[in-house]
Chains A and B, each alone.
Chain A
């Protein structure tokens, strides 16, 4: 019997996974750092894609959930010593609750497109102001994850390889989850909602519930990434987790890679993160914000020349090759 793992479509991902598993053996610490960033952003972007790409509800404020994950686990760790391995689930549940609330608020009242996007920006910005003014979570100074030595049980590692493997596992699980969902009724409902809400409703799709569920799932997954973010960078403050920076990056990778596709966000992050990091390294000192300029330029170019992202381009090339090599179809007889 043919299982998914022996199908041709899985050769590339399986190969990529093998390389990814072996990478720490020969990569330098700096290369590994970039690899961790690739995995983290691929993961976050994949989580965003559930709501933004599949359901077509473009949240521009996903840092809200990143921040909730980061702050919850870090607060619990620094104040009561709770391991981030447990804290991350509490943060994710909290984010899921907020995801439900935001989703309910926006979708119940029919907010769509740019209006939904603006509200998500506003809520995330409000969280920046709010956390800036709450002193027991560090106010504008933020929180530091205290270094207690190499301790896997506290999600702290001497070498980057430890973080690398955690991020890799998170990404693989997220990709598998999205792949699986995209073949379930829920996955098809997400796309139907994006493609034509009236038609979906008329065919028995509870579009409000589907959108809220997407919002909850996306928030939950994003918050798990938030805990990892805090553990890896060991320092968080309101602006760097709740601010617009992470929100934009998360969505950029999905757009460049291909919205509403399983692999798009990961491919987008794989292509863009190294370029941006290298550019930051070369130009950073003399030209602050160079990577942001780069992101902006790439975004405009992609939207102009490949609106369906890298995956869309790959698919259309593949289709063309297939059509070229197989027997000509009946197609295109003049009417």
Chain B
């Protein structure tokens, strides 16, 4: 049985078809990439998987359990945590406190949550900034915090929405290393990314969306030669 099975998932915003009849699976231990041009519907898929918006139709099964209708916090408790494309810190809380909110999911006790949060901050290289307020962080720090908060909740399936967008090459390299390491430790990841080299580098499997429709699925090699993908990206400066 697959870890995540999505069948015939669709979402309409009025007349706009953001996601249309999408079906795919994610196996335990995989890194699956979700790509597509701007507005293809990637974030909308994440919003449905994480319970922020209900699908218009279709079904989401995680570990044999139907996820439709669950609230985001329930989905997080079940082991699926998402990050946001537009970073969502708690501005008036410190970096440590921000991360503790994630850690509380598995550690209700404050002492344990704090320990877990500090551990996590080391992983995302923010331990030196633990006492800084969320509002005072740079973009790079915010990006790291976004991942740190999610990691602290110890997900089995992590959904990363453009975790590397806007970062410099060396900073991207750090995030790639982290993602690989997390995967090696057993975490399953579904990642949305604009940067081709990131996605080609990391993913075991890639799903391509265009105008809400799945136009291709395969290994990075297959995807890089897929005619429909080349067409979707043709003329786009990626």
Tell me the A residues contacting B by CB distance below 8 Å.
183-185, 188-189, 191-192, 194-196, 198-207
Q: Which of B73, B91, B153 is the one whose CB lies under 8 Å from A196?
A: B91
One of B55-63, B98-106, B209-217, B227-235 at the interface: B98-106
* B89 touches A (CB below 8 Å): yes
| Interface contact A206-B90, CB-CB below 8 Å | no
| Interface contact A203-B89, CB-CB below 8 Å | no
Whether A189 contacts B104 in the complex (CB less than 8 A), given A195-B90, A203-B149, comes out as yes
| Interface contact B52-A189, CB-CB below 8 Å | no
Chain B residues with CB under 8 Å of A185's CB are 104, 108-110, 113
Give B65-114 interface residues, CB cut-off 8 Å to A: 71-73, 76-77, 81-84, 88-93, 97, 100-102, 104-105, 108-110, 113
Whether A195 contacts B73 in the complex (CB less than 8 A), given A200-B101, A202-B82, A204-B104, comes out as no
Inter-chain pairs besides A189-B101, A204-B104, A207-B73, 18 sampled, C-beta below 8 Å: A183-B110, A184-B110, A185-B104, A185-B108, A188-B110, A196-B89, A196-B90, A199-B90, A201-B52, A201-B71, A202-B76, A203-B76, A203-B101, A203-B105, A204-B73, A204-B77, A205-B104, A206-B71
| Interface contact B90-A201, CB-CB below 8 Å | no
What interface size band does chain B fall in?
20 to 34
Whether A199 contacts B73 in the complex (CB less than 8 A), given A188-B97, A192-B93, A204-B105, comes out as no
Q: In the complex, how many angstroms separate the beta carbon of A333 from the nearest chain B beta carbon?
A: 12
Q: In the complex, how many angstroms separate the beta carbon of B22 from the nearest chain A beta carbon?
A: 21
Q: Is the interface of A mostly helix, strand, loop or mixed?
A: helix
Q: Which of A189, A194, A199 has the most CB of B within 10 A?
A: A199
Considering the complex, give the chain B residue whose CB is closest to the CB of A192.
Answer: B101
30 residue pairs bridging A and B, Cβ less than 8 Å apart: A185-B104, A185-B110, A188-B104, A191-B90, A191-B92, A192-B93, A195-B91, A195-B93, A196-B89, A196-B90, A196-B91, A198-B84, A199-B101, A199-B149, A200-B73, A200-B101, A201-B72, A201-B73, A202-B50, A202-B81, A202-B84, A202-B150, A203-B76, A203-B102, A203-B105, A204-B81, A204-B102, A204-B104, A206-B71, A207-B73
| Interface contact A203-B150, CB-CB below 8 Å | yes
Q: In the complex, how many angstroms separate the beta carbon of A203 from the nearest chain B beta carbon?
A: 5
Q: Which of B83, B84, B91, B153 is the one whose CB lies under 8 Å from A204?
A: B153
Question: Complex Cα distance A201/B71, Å?
Answer: 8
Q: Which of B77, B88, B101, B149 is the one whose CB lies under 8 Å from A198?
A: B88
Question: Complex Cα distance A203/B116, Å?
Answer: 14
Question: Complex Cα distance A78/B206, Å?
Answer: 75
Q: In the complex, how many angstroms separate the beta carbon of A11 from the nearest chain B beta carbon?
A: 22
Question: Complex Cα distance A205/B83, Å?
Answer: 15
Contact bitstring B155-198, A, C-beta under 8 A = 1, else 0: 00000000000000000000000000000000000000000000
Q: In the complex, how many angstroms separate the beta carbon of B20 from the nearest chain A beta carbon?
A: 25
Chain A residues with CB under 8 Å of B97's CB are 188, 191
> Which 7 A-B residue pairings sit nearest by Cβ, starting from the closest?
A195-B90, A199-B88, A204-B76, A204-B105, A201-B72, A203-B102, A192-B101
| Interface contact A198-B52, CB-CB below 8 Å | yes
Q: In the complex, how many angstroms separate the beta carbon of A90 from the nearest chain B beta carbon?
A: 32
Question: Complex Cα distance A184/B52, Å?
Answer: 27
Chain B residues with CB under 8 Å of A204's CB are 73, 76-77, 81, 102, 104-105, 153
Whether A199 contacts B108 in the complex (CB less than 8 A), given A188-B100, A188-B101, A189-B101, comes out as no
| Interface contact B73-A206, CB-CB below 8 Å | yes
Considering the complex, give the chain B residue whose CB is closest to the CB of A200.
Answer: B101
Considering the complex, give the chain B residue whose CB is closest to the CB of A195.
Answer: B90
Q: In the complex, how many angstroms separate the beta carbon of B58 from the nearest chain A beta carbon?
A: 21
Q: Which of A188, A201, A204 has the most CB of B within 10 A?
A: A204
Q: In the complex, how many angstroms separate the beta carbon of A22 from the nearest chain B beta carbon?
A: 35
| Interface contact B153-A203, CB-CB below 8 Å | yes
Q: In the complex, how many angstroms separate the beta carbon of A17 from the nearest chain B beta carbon?
A: 25
Q: In the complex, how many angstroms separate the beta carbon of A246 from the nearest chain B beta carbon?
A: 28
Considering the complex, give the chain B residue whose CB is closest to the CB of A56.
Answer: B92
Question: Complex Cα distance A201/B149, Å?
Answer: 12
Q: In the complex, how many angstroms separate the beta carbon of B172 from the nearest chain A beta carbon?
A: 17
Q: In the complex, how many angstroms separate the beta carbon of A114 from the nearest chain B beta carbon?
A: 20
Question: Complex Cα distance A195/B93, Å?
Answer: 8
Q: In the complex, how many angstroms separate the beta carbon of B86 from the nearest chain A beta carbon?
A: 10
Question: Complex Cα distance A98/B185, Å?
Answer: 49
Chain A residues with CB under 8 Å of B100's CB are 188
Q: Which of B104, B150, B153 has the most CB of A within 10 A?
A: B104
Q: Which of B76, B89, B113, B149 has the most CB of A within 10 A?
A: B76
| Interface contact B72-A191, CB-CB below 8 Å | no
Give B126-161 interface residues, CB cut-off 8 Å to A: 134, 149-150, 152-153
Chain A residues with CB under 8 Å of B73's CB are 200-207
Question: Complex Cα distance A206/B104, Å?
Answer: 12
Chain B residues with CB under 8 Å of A200's CB are 73, 90, 101
